[in-house]
Amino acid sequence: MILIIVIILILFLVFLKEGIPCIMYHGVGLESNLSTEEFEKQIKQIKNMNTYKFEEIQELNYLIPRKSILLTFDDGYRNNYTNAYPILKKYNKKATIFLNTAYVGIDDDYLTWDQILEMYNSGLVDFQLHSHSHFSVISRIEIDGFFSVESFNKKELYREIKNIYRKEPRIGYPIFKRRGELAVYGYKLTDKFIEICDQLIDKKIVLTEEIVKENLLNEVVAYSSEEYENRIFREVSKNKDIIDKKIARETLNFANPWGHKSPELVDNLKKIGIKSMITTKKGTNSRKLSPYKVKRYEANNIIKFRVLLLINKSFVLGKIYETLS
């Protein structure tokens, strides 16, 4: 009897303080790791829970009502409109898409502005900041591979290397360890680095780690703090200006690209006027969100979704999950 009472008391304490789960999605459909059918199962699972867009949360001063869950999508893939949006409408659930504006209406994998405005005007979908380009920067002077024929078919990698080399990538270009460009100062390649690479490739010399180390590492130089701050301002401000003008309202919530963040990033976001930063750190949130530490998690099947939902609806269990993760 004493054991039963202790168990009941523990369970009572665990579930006494409510947690606010925040789910992170990217794509929905055949080309992603979450099928449309699985997505509908998840949304059906939360049909009796409240959902809020981040523009509403902002108006609530980041205090979330009870029995709520937050749904978020990163990047702005077109299948958010074709596959996810009809299901959100069917169950009358709200979500926020953190949008990379550089590819809207340009890349077939991304949303168009007509689709964005239709979703926004429905009252169900909000659009917030995720940087304009979602680029990475060299984070360590360490070779991670070399650009190959297959690399041209990897859109994200192709865009990143083109940005880092400031020109069309060539087969054989060294690929260094990278991190989200808003999270670290990082390193840049000098014009001389690129020139030497081109000369060696033109001579049919296959670049190796040894060749790079012996001839090129002096031409990989650190970005200054001023360059880093300018990069943040440029990427976030352009992202914000475009969305604000298209949707005709102010955008003040930011999800950090790649899930990478730093104290310097938070400080610079505050200078720009951004009110919250949504992370990829696993765990739950208190009803009063910590604006620059909003936690999220992913679940690509209904069993995992149900288990993590049960855990993260409890603030105590969610904190344990955060620690173990």
List pLDDT tens digits, range 241-295.
999 999 999 999 999 999 988 899 999 999 999 999 999 999 999 999 999 999 9
Q: d(Cα 232, Cα 235) in Å, to the nearest integer? A: 5
pLDDT at 7 over 90: no
> What is the mean pLDDT of the segment spanning 161-188?
97
Could you say which DSSP state residue 19 is in?
Answer: P
Compute the Cα dihedral for 154, 156, 162, 165 and give only its sign: negative
Give the tens place of pLDDT for each residue, 294-316: 999 999 999 999 999 999 999 99
Give the chain's mean pLDDT: 94
What's the mean pLDDT in 100-109? 97
Determine the pLDDT at residue 268. 95
Q: Which of 1-5, 142-146, 255-259, 297-301 has the lowest mean pLDDT?
A: 1-5
Residue 102 CA, distance from chain mean position? 15
Burial environment of residue 151 by CB neighbours within 10 A (0 to 12, 13 to 18, 19 or more): middle
pLDDT tens by residue, 179-199: 999 999 999 999 999 999 999
Residue where the block lists tokens 């260094």: 176
Instruction: Order the strands of the 220-222 sheet from edge to edge.
Output: 174-180, 136-146, 187-189, 220-222
Q: Look at residue 8 and tell me whether its pLDDT is greater than 50.
A: no
pTM listed for this prediction: 0.93
* pLDDT of 4 strictly over 70: no
Q: What's the pLDDT at 17?
A: 86
Q: What token pair was written down for 210?
A: 């040894």
> Percentage of the chain with pLDDT > 90?
92
pLDDT band at 31 (very low <50, low <70, confident <90, very high): confident
Is the pLDDT assigned to residue 14 strictly greater than 90?
A: no
| Cα–Cα distance measured from residue 79 to residue 28, given in angstroms and rounded to the nearest whole number | 6
pLDDT in tens, 132-141: 999 999 999 9
Task: Give the three-class secondary structure for 248.
Answer: coil
Q: Is the pLDDT of residue 6 over 90?
A: no
Q: How confident is the model at residue 2 (pLDDT cuts 50, 70, 90)?
A: low
Contacts of 115 (CB under 8 A, 6+ apart): 78, 81
Q: Strand 136-146 vs strand 174-180: parallel, antiparallel, or unpaired?
A: antiparallel
Is the pLDDT assigned to residue 48 strictly greater than 90? yes
